[in-house]
Structure 1
Amino acid sequence: MATGVSAGCLATGCASVSAPAAAPLTSAFIPRQARPSRPAQGQWVASTCQGCTQWCAIQILVQDGRATRVRGNPLSKTNHGYVCPRGHLIPQQMYDPDRIKVPMKRTNPVKGRGIDPKFVPISWDEALDTLAEKMMALRKSGETHKLVYMRGRYSPTSTELLYGTLPKVFGTGNYFSHSAICAEAEKMGPGLTQGFFGYRDYDLEKTNCLVCWGTDPLASNRMVPNTMNRFPDIVKRGTVIAVDPRLSNVAAKAHEWLPISPGTDGALAGAIAHVLLTEGLWNREFVGDFKDGKNLFVAGQIVDEAAFAEKESYGLVKWWNLELRNQTPAWGEQVSLIPAAQIQRVARAMGKAAPRVVVWMGPGVAMSPRGTYAAMAVYALNGLLGSIDVEGGVWQSPSGPPLAPFPKADAYVDEIAKAGSKGKKLDGRGAKDMPAMMNAKPGSGVVTNNVANGMLKDPGAVKVFISTWSNFAFSATGAQRWEKALAAVPFFVHMVPSASEMTQFADIVLPSTFNSAEGWSIVTNMGNGHAYASIQQGAIKRLWDVKQEETEVMWLLAEKLKAKGFANLFDYYAKEFKDPETGKAPTTALEFSEIAAKMTSAPIWAAKEPLKGDAPILGWADFKKKGMFSGPRYTLKKGWGGKFATETKKFEFYSETLKKGLAEHAKKYETSIDDILGVSGYVARGELAFVPHYEPVKRHGSVQDFPLTFIDYKSRLNREGRSANVPWYQEFKKVDPGDVSWSDVVKMNPKDGAKLGLKSGDTVTITSMAGTISCQLKLWEGVRPGTVAKCYGQGHWAYGRVAAQDFGKATPRGGNNNEILVDDYDRLSGATARNGGFTGVRIQKA
């Protein structure tokens, strides 16, 4: 490097810097002469990070047309002007020399891992003409439903021009989002108790007890910059509790670390609830109290429902009688392996701090084969503690700045499209054994990972497959299934910034913009009590022939389809979209892209009446400069007073909402709710199915054959898997507790290592019922005995020269967790199981 500093020194802060010859010798005892600070030369351009689903508003320093630095937008009330490590990776990702630079087509018809596709460059004209021809063949044969579209990361607004419009106007019901491999199951907790099927916000500024359960918000999940900003004050004034089998970043700094036996979260939650009730620590303002003031919650004893007067909640006594009365701390210790004394101590700390308590539940709780009930059990603690919609507690989505919906496309949907949109979906949602009850409506949730199974069961179901910003052949459990399914697809188009494992199966590869700095969109989200809208814009000069997949590519594809006799899609774009400032219709792909962003955000920058929240935005130019607009502060007690979106309009410890949904699904199949639960893999029967409860771990692999339990977790550097090909990712990998730079390690407790005769540095194989991978072993006390932990992200065999050990030979750097994680689901939500100790493994020296 020009400064003489090695990459290792940048990571560790070592002093091996080759100074200019004329520089005086210095040491730690001789202060260096301070140099005058120099302000960065260039322009800070507003945009939005796309490294996780927080969508932080950012600014990119542009110098001579190139992005050189990233920081949080100083106007942001959510990230406070900061970004987490993922944001700082944007320039390296954008200028990755292995990015796809031009469209390409496959010349080798044989598909498979390690098989050279023999891609050759082609023009955009040829690429989209070929795709349009394949699509038109489906319309002519009456098979529009055999067009499948799947999206990975997307923008919340402009995605509708692809995900919402293309399938509808062309005529297919087979379009699927990635969300069910991400975090859908955790939404079932708040959804089936308070009627909010969404990501929660948290009042960390005033929280006195933070319980991070199956999540590490200092590293991943959502709102990382806000958590990093608020966390030190919470540690000083209150109590931080981490429930995680692994010593996460939060656990390393917590007052209490509970290294739970994976998958037993429902049992631990039940034991904590038992203590809160028997010791009278529930929040009476929210939950209510016994009519005579005497606490009748006594271990093992049934309570008369009529003796308790509830306020904002419903069914507490039912929950006690059906589930909690025998779940003492001693019982909780037997199941969760957390000492009874610690369970009691933690419950008392939570009760003492109530209602300024946040039980922050993450995917580690819910993404297991029976995760819906674990999510309900953990989230219900917020209800017991009265922390719902109060200061220092757990909030729903705040009201945000208004956005304009895109024009309806109904008039452009012909009879062929209407017919093609009907029929069963490839993901199996709504099947008897796959209720997929997002929003408590059977069949309403996506089952992303099951699409591969649908393709394998019916090889003729897909003739044209389009996917954007995705890599399901790497990022979905049972990844090998995706390789088989993709290899059999007659025509596959992949639109991505960087080639990946999934790209190796494509027939046409289209280079997408890196949207944080090269594309147009409007992003909406919330955090720290404010909903906000932020912009993504073309901040830099594009180095390569890339196009924004949701707008530019759709415009150009629509042009091609029109030239071949199907004008509906193009007419919708060209006739319904007008520049809010000039009234002009778009004439080019780039104009369409910017006009779409202007249209949806016009209520902010061209507001007819003053908006609540930030100072007014004075026109489109001002919005591009400021980059964001935040709405007013969250309204407390939003759901109190009978305004929860549940069947009872109250916080439901006995979920009438779930009961209604299950009854509807059972009626469809002319059977009982118990039968539905049975075929879907749940243990509960009868009334127990409607309360939060512990479902025993469903484990793949006997303890005799697979004695260790495997834990998958996420890196703070992963950018959802899109950063492994940049040097900073590999060099700074050690910021994840227990991990090693430029390597891939599985962490094992030293006690287990001694039993198996293994030591740190050994190359080992990890084998499950799904497959075998290889990586390095590290003995580490940060994982409980009987379990092994491995960070998701390494194991790429086709993501570039840095990500792979040997890209040319398809040799991975380490192993991909998803090749050993078994393909299974939480069937009430449709979410992929990847946590909760459901995969048993054995580890041997290679």
Structure 2
Amino acid sequence: MNLSRRRFVQGAVAAGIVAGFWQAGRSKRMESLEETGTTVERPSEVQPLTAGEWKPSGCLGCTSWCAKEVFVVDGRAIKVRANAASRVHGGNDCPRAHLAIQQVYDPDRIKQPMKRTNPNKGLKEDPQFVPVSWDEAMEMLADRVMDLRDHNETHKFVLFRGRYTNINGLLYGTMPKIIGSPNNISHSSICAEAEKFGPYYTQGYWNYRDYDVANTKYMICWGVDPLCSNRQVSHYLNAFGGMLKKGVRIATVDPKYSNTAAKSETWLPVKPGQDGALATAMAHVILTEGLWSREFVGDFNNGQDYFKSGETVENDNFDEIHTNGIVKWWNLELKDRTPEWAESICGVEAEKIRKVAVDFAKEAPHVMVFMGGGSNMQVRGAYNSMAVHALNGLVGAAENLGGTITGRSPKLGSFPAADDFMDEMAQTNSKMQKIDQRGYVEFPALKEGKSGGGVVTNRVADAILTEDPYRPKVGIGYFCNFNYSCPETSRWHEAMSKMEFFAHCVTHYSEMSHFADLLLPSTHHMFEQMSSAAQKGNGYTHLWIGDRSIDPVYDVKNPEAEIPWMLAEKLADRGFTNLLDYLKTFKDPETGREPTNGLELEKYAFKIRTQPVWDSAAYAESGNHGDAFNSWEAFMEKGIWNSDEYEFQKLWSNMPTTTGKFEFYSETLKEALEQHAEKHNMSVDDVLEACKYTYTKGELAYIPHYTEPFMHGSKEEYPFSFVDCKSHMAREGRSSNCSWFQEFKDVDAGDVKWGDCIKINPKDAQALGLEDGDQVRVISPTAEVVTTLKTWNALRPGTASKTFGQGHWAMGHVAAEDYEDKIARGANNNDFMAADYERLSGSTAFYGSFRVRIERV
């Protein structure tokens, strides 16, 4: 059976529509109507909502990871709502979760395994997918893995991961090790890593923060829009109303007038990339005005204030308490960073800088700087990340009531160790260099202080193309679409064309799927599989869990449990039993029974991971504090565990930094950089030069400081700084095939329904002779796209803003303008953004690093 891509798609749509009607429209022949004598088809009697059942679940549509409930009627999911038992978000929702209903019943979903029949790969090649059974698909995948083992090339296996559940360690963490590969590559560095850099190298915390908005008095939202994206959107959409009623003052730092800026007392429209100038100027004001926290930072030992503009301070004159290096920071960086100096650089008036800094500090310590990726996912963003977060330490807001807090994760159970199931080949090859080049001189990726400890996701494409350190041959990807979500997508198209064999586990055919050899249709996490995830917010942490609330709509499998089991069985048939032997150690904690299939593995894996929550004995040993359960059944019935409320100030002088203090002079970063430099037999200055930190020398390397941003494209040739923007409606970039996404797209301020646009200030449009609705060409130093122009007053002049989420030529008939002919609806921001990095963290640069020009088509 040979199908062209067009015929495959048409058949899939038809089959999906039939399946949808089969699920939703079970009908019966009704009696003849006496009035007309006509026989009619009528749907089964509509049942009221009370006839159904609410079942616990959760949402992975963004990193809020909210607890949900699904209303199921006659086996069909018809409604989603928040699980009101969550202490993180209560009964509050955001728009994204509701789109999941359209996703699970989407006729464009992949409905059964498909294999490629065209051996040629490329953007313009038709893969000519044909249906196969799961058995045949797993045979193909197992043959490829065994071929690597037969040739001692297991390190050339790669596992790509996007979003995940609490059992992701099974597929992502362990399976590559047992096969014999170091290459488990996550999406993390296209998500946030530079945002974590500053908090780690000041207070030792590499993770997302929580923010005690319930008790704050002043909030600065910096490079983030909590009402649209980031973490706990459901909570903040509700909390902001109460904050404003209480008189909480809000300032927003963002080149665009965001949703949060509209709720703010002050908008600081910073020039893209210049966040470090603004942050250091605010720190200068706080110190020269004598408004730092004496309780947290300390004070001069004679009671005088020696922080005077342009003057150095004797270190011995200051007695620090819970911090390290305040005087060094002042002498090396802050003494000359006046608001007047910053104004011409960052584009915010000196008086506004001074006023916000003073007002903020006067309300301290119950204040916060809420930091997102806009200020730091830049080519030179690491020190911005430190400078912005350091303001929390300066006013005593770190780990304080109404401030920024680390939160805590639940103690979860550990999976069985894999070491005993790794043969000599696996032990050797799994220690080889990872394919993403982490740890190279120019890619320190200093996660948690370790050279090469992080991930450099977007660099994989270049590594494949240059075969440095080698060329991977066999790959599996799940819940990922790097050909769409990584800047300079053309590199990924070329790289994936060179991958010998790639299996993609996804719900929908995507841009990355186009280069696959196998399409393995995946369960939808909210409805068709067991799922669990934890998240913090509102001073609490919750752990939600949900069983399969409906039968799978199509012939789909859970990529984190069922697919590893099926692959393990096929590998065992070929004489490699290690993976199957390992999976059989996942025994039911209650019965001791070992799994016999993928569904049992799924259940037992979740029981093992969550045992410290639902098992009273394990709970007592774990150190967890919060809801207590006496059985697995009780936990599953409620569907959520909540922690106790966060305890403030416990980490003061007990932070996991080198000094145990909040570090303005980061001994923690100094150790990490020196370790990386020693590893490559060079100086720290040389390392920073290789990482494009041209202006960072000597002791500046260890303190938050301003450095001129690195921008792709000169201002003369590319006059607009580009601002990438997030959507209210985007479920991890995958919701564009939902009609609700398109119909309500204009909730993203300045955007249009069923379309795409790039926005500039009306003054800039007038200067270019352009008007609303003009078709324009957006040209960057790396590529160009065509879209529609919109003028928008809520954007600082000299910038161009475009919302991420359109530009799919795959994903389905709604997402694409013409799905069969691969014509995208609008443009993907990543198509014309250059591939670059904040290299100290490994983060991809999305902000403050690119310029464009705009011309009429």
Give the TM-score taking structure 1 as reference length: 0.94
For 1:712-791, what aligned pairs fall within 5 Å after superposition? 712-791=724-803
Where does residue 167 of structure 1 map in the other structure?
176
- Unaligned 5+ segments in structure 2 are 1-46
Give percent identity, aligned residues only.
48
Which letter maps to 2:687? I
Structure 1 residues 404 and 62: alpha-carbon distance in aligned structure 2, compared to 1, 3 A threshold:
same
1:244 aligns with 2:254: yes
Which letter maps to 1:698? F
Where does residue 647 of structure 2 map in the other structure?
635
Match of 1:832 among 844, 848, 855: 844
Match of 1:138 among 136, 148, 151: 148
Where does residue 610 of structure 2 map in the other structure?
601
Equivalent residue of 1:470, what SS? coil
Residue-by-residue CA offset, 1:812-837 (whole Å, 9 max, x unaligned): 1111100111110111001100112x
Which letter maps to 2:810? A
Which letter maps to 2:720? L
Where does residue 658 of structure 2 map in the other structure?
647
1:671 aligns with 2:693: no
Where does residue 228 of structure 1 map in the other structure?
237
Q: Is the 8 A contact 1:391 1:636 kept in 2?
A: yes
Q: Is the 8 A contact 2:627 2:643 kept in 1?
A: no
Where does residue 444 of structure 1 map in the other structure?
453
Where does residue 502 of structure 2 map in the other structure?
492
Which letter maps to 2:213? L
Where does residue 19 of structure 2 map in the other structure?
none
> Distance between the aligned counterparts of 1:784 and 1:114, measured in 2?
39
Equivalent residue of 2:214, what SS? coil
For 1:414-429, what aligned pairs fall within 5 Å after superposition? 414-429=423-438
> Distance between the aligned counterparts of 2:624 and 2:120, measured in 1?
58
1:710 aligns with 2:719: no
> Distance between the aligned counterparts of 1:597 and 1:808, measured in 2?
40
Equivalent residue of 2:229, what SS? coil
1:556 aligns with 2:578: no
Where does residue 353 of structure 2 map in the other structure?
343
For residue 38 of structure 1, report the CA deviation from its aligned partner: 6.8
For residue 616 of structure 1, report the CA deviation from its aligned partner: 2.6
For residue 399 of structure 1, report the CA deviation from its aligned partner: 5.3
Where does residue 319 of structure 1 map in the other structure?
329
Residue-by-residue CA offset, 1:646-666 (whole Å, 9 max, x unaligned): 111100000111111111111
For residue 635 of structure 1, report the CA deviation from its aligned partner: 1.3
Where does residue 217 of structure 1 map in the other structure?
226
> Distance between the aligned counterparts of 2:480 and 2:408, measured in 1?
30
Equivalent residue of 2:260, what SS? helix
Equivalent residue of 1:602, what SS? helix
1:279 aligns with 2:279: no
Residue-by-residue CA offset, 1:155-203 (whole Å, 9 max, x unaligned): 1x21111011111111001221000010011101110001111110111
For residue 620 of structure 1, report the CA deviation from its aligned partner: 1.8
Match of 2:711 among 699, 702, 717: 699
> Distance between the aligned counterparts of 2:485 and 2:627, measured in 1?
41
Q: Is the 8 A contact 1:399 1:634 kept in 2?
A: no
> Distance between the aligned counterparts of 1:194 and 1:174, measured in 2?
30
Structure 1 residues 650 and 170: alpha-carbon distance in aligned structure 2, compared to 1, 3 A threshold:
same
> Distance between the aligned counterparts of 1:518 and 1:582, measured in 2?
25
For 1:49-448, what aligned pairs fall within 5 Å after superposition? 49-155=59-165, 157-236=166-245, 237-398=247-408, 400=410, 402-448=411-457
> Distance between the aligned counterparts of 1:603 and 1:175, measured in 2?
27
Residue-by-residue CA offset, 1:78-114 (whole Å, 9 max, x unaligned): 1112221111111011111101110000112222224
For residue 222 of structure 1, report the CA deviation from its aligned partner: 0.3
Equivalent residue of 1:473, what SS? helix
Match of 1:590 among 573, 595, 599: 599
Which letter maps to 2:272? P
> Distance between the aligned counterparts of 1:422 and 1:438, measured in 2?
18
For residue 41 of structure 1, report the CA deviation from its aligned partner: 3.2
Match of 1:540 among 517, 541, 550: 550
Which letter maps to 2:498? A
Which letter maps to 1:553? I
> Distance between the aligned counterparts of 2:785 and 2:179, measured in 1?
41
Q: Is the 8 A contact 1:398 1:529 kept in 2?
A: no
Which letter maps to 1:203? D
1:845 aligns with 2:853: no
Q: Is the 8 A contact 1:59 1:72 kept in 2?
A: yes
Residue-by-residue CA offset, 1:231-272 (whole Å, 9 max, x unaligned): 122223220111000111101111101111000001000111
Which letter maps to 1:477? P
Q: Is the 8 A contact 1:712 1:817 kept in 2?
A: yes
Which letter maps to 2:554? W
Give the TM-score taking structure 2 as reference length: 0.93
Which letter maps to 2:243? I
Residue-by-residue CA offset, 1:359-382 (whole Å, 9 max, x unaligned): 010010110001110100000000
Q: Is the 8 A contact 1:247 1:737 kept in 2?
A: no
Which letter maps to 2:641? F
For residue 115 of structure 1, report the CA deviation from its aligned partner: 2.8
Structure 1 residues 204 and 812: alpha-carbon distance in aligned structure 2, compared to 1, 3 A threshold:
same
For residue 613 of structure 1, report the CA deviation from its aligned partner: 4.5
1:658 aligns with 2:669: yes
Residue-by-residue CA offset, 1:789-825 (whole Å, 9 max, x unaligned): 0001101111110011111111111111001111101
Equivalent residue of 1:343, what SS? helix
Residue-by-residue CA offset, 1:712-741 (whole Å, 9 max, x unaligned): 011111111010000000111111111111
Which letter maps to 2:417? K
> Distance between the aligned counterparts of 1:87 and 1:307, measured in 2?
55
RMSD: 1.3
Residue-by-residue CA offset, 1:208-235 (whole Å, 9 max, x unaligned): 1111100001110001111112112222
1:453 aligns with 2:465: no
Equivalent residue of 1:190, what SS? helix
For residue 124 of structure 1, report the CA deviation from its aligned partner: 0.3
Q: Is the 8 A contact 2:446 2:452 kept in 1?
A: yes
Residues 227-236 or 99-108, more deviating: 227-236
> Distance between the aligned counterparts of 2:527 and 2:821, measured in 1?
33
> Distance between the aligned counterparts of 1:245 and 1:621, measured in 2?
50
Equivalent residue of 1:150, what SS? strand
Residue-by-residue CA offset, 1:290-348 (whole Å, 9 max, x unaligned): 11111111111111111111110110111111111111111111111001111111111
1:821 aligns with 2:830: no
For residue 525 of structure 1, report the CA deviation from its aligned partner: 2.0
> Distance between the aligned counterparts of 1:419 and 1:171, measured in 2?
8
Equivalent residue of 2:527, what SS? helix
1:466 aligns with 2:476: yes
Q: Is the 8 A contact 2:158 2:181 kept in 1?
A: yes
> Distance between the aligned counterparts of 2:49 and 2:106, measured in 1?
27
> Distance between the aligned counterparts of 2:707 and 2:74, measured in 1?
58
> Distance between the aligned counterparts of 2:624 and 2:701, measured in 1?
43
For residue 536 of structure 1, report the CA deviation from its aligned partner: 3.2
> Distance between the aligned counterparts of 1:831 and 1:383, measured in 2?
24
Equivalent residue of 1:212, what SS? strand
Equivalent residue of 2:526, what SS? helix
Where does residue 30 of structure 2 map in the other structure?
none
